[in-house]
Structure 1
Amino acid sequence: MNIEGFREGNLIKVYPEGHQEGLLAIKEVFGSSFICEMISPRPGYLFRTKHSEMNAIPLTEDWLLYAGYLKEEGDGVWTDDLGTVSFLWSGNKGTFQNHDSQPVGYVHEFQNEYERLTGERIYFAI
């Protein structure tokens, strides 16, 4: 997996050898590993994970809901509760509207692109 797109604050899945899989938030980025905070199943647990154990989370409608976006009627457009930036979802990828947006298909890409366009981090209510 290309880990160059991962940065502090991104959500990932991890399948560590001999440990329980989990949903994590990246806290610190190092050359060969990341320090992460577990979101589930053991919230708050900090540990170091290798790049080989990290997995991107596919973006889904559920993740858009967790990000505070709501689906508009019929046209695939999702809007956030603040009206900051709309997102056009096509079922497996999407782009932010009215901006020079790059297509995204994973949660970390969604986070990174949102921050690039708005200057703000997006948080997920999980």
Structure 2
Amino acid sequence: MDIKKLRQGSLIKISPRENEEGYLAIQEIQKDNIIGEMLVPRQGYHFRIKFYEIIPIPLNEKWLSKAGFTQDETDKNLWKDPHQQLDFFFSEKDKKFKDAGVLIGKVQIEFVHDLQNGYLFLTGKELNITV
């Protein structure tokens, strides 16, 4: 996992030494660890985690839905933006933002934190995800 792609607010999965897997929202990235807030299973719990304990969350239809995107009724690969600014095309071949019918960018969006980063970069707005 490329730690440089993470930022404050990025959503990640963790598997810490205590073996309690969960989802974490990053609050601070330090030299060799991350401080974050647990969202599931113990909401509000704050702790420090090493980089090697981070697991990126693979992007799938469930996570698009949690981010507020809704699946188009006629094109099942097209997911509509909750703010009507930018849609997302999700298929085995392509996982990219779509604007005015055109896929944006050359890089596939594989993880939830990539979706968050891309949305912020392209719209200037945070993408709120309900875990």
Partner of 2:60: 60
After TM superposition, the score normalised by the length of structure 2 is 0.89
Unmatched runs of 5 consecutive residues or more in structure 1? none
Deviation (angstroms), 1:75: 4.8
Q: Deviations over 1:16-69 (max 9, x none)?
A: 112411100000111111101000100000001000100100001000000110
Identity of aligned residues (%): 37
Structure 1 runs, 4 residues or longer, greater than 3 Å off = 99-102
Alpha-carbon distance between aligned partners in 2 of 1:21 and 1:34, rounded to the nearest angstrom = 15
After TM superposition, the score normalised by the length of structure 1 is 0.92
Q: Equivalent residue of 1:17, what SS? A: coil
Summarize the alignment of residues 1-126 of structure 1 with structure 2, pairs less than 5 Å apart.
1-72=1-72, 73-91=74-92, 94-98=95-99, 100-101=104-105, 102-126=107-131
Closer, same or farther: CA 18–28 of 1 in aligned 2, 3 Å: same
User: How many corresponding residue pairs?
Assistant: 126
Q: How much is the aligned-residue C-alpha RMSD, in angstroms?
A: 1.6
Q: Equivalent residue of 1:81, what SS? A: coil
Unmatched runs of 5 consecutive residues or more in structure 2? none
